[in-house]
Chain A
Amino acid sequence: MTADGAGGATIEVRNVGKWFGQVVALSDVTFDVGPGVTALLGPNGAGKSTLFRILCGLAHPSQGSVRMFGENPQGNAALTRRIGIAPQQEGLFENQTGKEFVGLAATLYGLDDPDAAACRAIELVELDPDDPRPLGAYSKGMRQRIKLAQALVHSPDVVVLDEPLEGLDPRQRLRSIELFRQLGEEGRTVIISSHVLDEVERFGSRILVITQGRLVAEGPFGAIRDLMDDRPRILRVGTDRPREVAAGLLRNGAVLGAHVGDGIVRVETDQPALFRRTVASVARDADARLLEVVALDEDLESVFAYLVGRR
């Protein structure tokens, strides 16, 4: 569980590009990942899974290079001992039981007691090793957890998890997030993809934001969150005196423009922090009741579009 790469980085990605014919999946992606939990955040189709496949040696980069522990993961069977991956795709060996599936991984990793290792890994993800049902009968949440178990069965130094929380119920999510943190605290390099910002907040001390195949932001969660919060926003303010509230907001410079409707003001602001601080006092000064403040562009797509635009 050591970072053998240069400068303490376990994984070094340099100018990686990947294209399939005319379609560019990744473009000039460069970053380092060291021990601990790193979250890869991006919308569906952003290139997260392609990047993970390249990191693990499952696909070649069209340009650039990847090093894991200083070695090229491509065609490097020995390095696979140090990697555990839970891919996003649903496919499992449907006829196998959970214990057979995880036991197969343990056997192929050459563990001394594959059965015992499989049982430990399955219990770690809170499944029953003696469940006689085939994987085909598992729920989505159970399938996610059994994928996680096979990724952890050999105690890998690098754990790559592609959307591991999808399909889990809230309790399982909480437990899984605790497990990811624990793995990071043990000194393993844990890299987890997600397209849900709030999910990432809970497990990612460091975040890489990828969209349209490009790395558009990286850093600690707080900095990324601030960046996202401070982007220009379009908001709807519900009030019983929309004209007066609109005038007040325009007067104090918190908004760039305002459109008054029936009981609402639609505003555009490039200073969301100032807007948040002053909207209540503006309403009070106008003797207006503030009924709601709703962001109209809160979806992640618009966040990512903003991040792409500022690069």
Chain B
Amino acid sequence: MNKIFSVLVRTLATKGRLIALGLLGAGAIALGFAVRFSSEPDKANATWNLVDAYGLSLLVPVVALVFATASLGDPAEDGTLVYLWLRPIARWRLALAAFAAGLAVSVPLAVLPIIVAAAIAGGGGKLVAAAAVGTLLAAVAYSAVFCGLGLRMRRALAWGLAYLLIWEQAVARVSHGAARASVFVNTRSLAAYIANQAPPRNAVAPITGLVVPVAFSVAAVALTTRSLDRGEVA
């Protein structure tokens, strides 16, 4: 599985993607400095806004979308998936390696910058812990979901973006029922709890905020495995 993982990481981490999304991550650190040197008296609240509005709403989902859809989507599109698929290895290993590859690139480009930004902003240790747990959990769940999307759908980036904008950022914000099935609302609720911030709208219980993204991740990897098992390979 290590070999597949390293092949997929090298394939999906193109220079263009790393530069573009690295700049987005650098933006988080710049925002951290802006908060630190601002005249804002409530640094904790300003830091939470950075983690919530920039990290959980934008940086983590977008970075995970780009890399996770590419982890199996790129090989499926250019025909190289056959060199991994037509081998006597369990499909779940391939699905897990692809998920891990997407996550391994997303963490340094999205999760770490938010943690560093939270530390720079000066909101305190709880905010740093909230940033770490919330963004890492979100990166795991989005990577798992988008990995399968990249395998199953053409134009997975566009579909993923639509999912983020319509479901995660619109429907889940206004509908309590939908919020329970939203990676964003669950991870945001857990992060707010850890950061000792007021629960956001449609917040779920902290344990739910932990369990649901993990369950999403497991289910998504299982579905990707099933697709590899039953689907057609380019």
Question: Chain A: residues with CB nearer than 8 A to chain B?
Answer: 53, 56-60, 75, 77-78, 80-81, 83, 85, 87, 89-93, 95-96, 101, 104-105, 107-110, 150
| Contact B79 A58, beta carbon cutoff 8 Å | no
Min CB gap A78→B, angstroms: 6
The answer, yes or no, to whether B43 is at the interface (CB within 8 Å) is: no
16 more CB-based (< 8 A) A-B contacts, given A56-B86, A93-B11: A57-B86, A77-B89, A78-B88, A80-B86, A85-B86, A87-B79, A87-B82, A89-B79, A89-B234, A90-B79, A91-B78, A92-B80, A93-B7, A96-B10, A105-B83, A150-B83
Interface size class of B (residues with CB under 8 A): 20 to 34
A81 and B88 contact, CB distance less than 8 A: yes
**Can you list 29 pairs linking A and B with CB atoms under 8 Å apart?**
A57-B86, A58-B82, A58-B232, A58-B233, A59-B232, A75-B229, A75-B230, A77-B89, A77-B90, A80-B88, A81-B88, A85-B86, A87-B79, A87-B82, A91-B78, A93-B10, A93-B80, A95-B11, A96-B7, A96-B10, A101-B83, A104-B3, A104-B83, A108-B84, A108-B87, A108-B88, A108-B89, A109-B88, A150-B83
Please, which residues of chain A bring their CB within 8 A of the CB of B33?
A: none
Query: What's the Cα separation between A59 and B88 when bound, in Å?
Result: 17
Q: In the complex, A75 Cα to B88 Cα: how many Å?
A: 10
B60-90: which have CB < 8 Å to A?
75, 78-80, 82-90
Q: Does B91 contact A (CB under 8 A)?
A: yes
Distance, CA A60 to CA B11, complexed state (A): 27
Which among B10, B11, B233 is the interface contact of A59 at CB below 8 angstroms?
Answer: B233
Residue of A nearest to B228 (CB): A75
Which residues of A have CB within 8 Å of B86?
Answer: 56-58, 80, 83, 85
Question: Which residues of chain B have C-beta atoms less than 8 A from A91's C-beta?
Answer: 75, 78-80
B227 CB to closest chain A CB (Å) equals: 12
What are the 10 closest A-B residue pairs judged by CB atoms, nearest first? A89-B79, A91-B78, A108-B87, A91-B79, A59-B232, A91-B80, A58-B233, A95-B10, A81-B88, A80-B88
Asked if residues B232 and A60 are in contact (CB atoms below 8 Å), the reply is yes
A274–B79 alpha-carbon span in the complex (Å):
49
B214 → A minimal CB distance (Å)? 28
Interface string of B42-61 (1 = CB under 8 A from A): 00000000000000000000
Q: Which residues of A contact B233 (CB under 8 A)?
A: 53, 58-59
Within the complex, the shortest CB–CB distance from B76 to chain A, in Å, comes to 10
Complex contacts, A92 vs chain B, CB 8 Å? 80, 83
| Set of chain B residues within 8 Å of A53, measured between Cβ atoms | 232-233
Q: Give the docked Cα–Cα distance between A42 and B89 (Å).
A: 33
Q: Are B88 and A107 in contact (CB under 8 A)?
A: no
Q: A76: nearest residue on chain B (CB-CB)? A: B88
**Which single residue of chain B is at the shortest CB-CB distance from A94?**
B11
Chain A residue contacts of B82, Cβ below 8 A? 58, 85, 87, 89
Across the interface, which residues of A come within 8 angstroms of B83, CB to CB?
A: 92-93, 101, 104-105, 150
For B75, what are the chain A residues with a Cβ–Cβ distance below 8 Å? Answer: 91
Give the CA-CA distance A192 to B135 in the complex, in Å: 51
- State the CA gap A93–B230 with chains docked (Å): 24
A89 to B86, CA, bound (A): 15
Q: Which chain B positions have C-beta within 8 A of A85?
A: 82, 86
**Within 8 Å CB of B80, what residues of A?**
91-93
CB distance from A281 to the nearest CB of B (A): 55
Kindly state the separation between the CA atoms of A96 and B11 in the bound complex, as whole angstroms.
Answer: 9
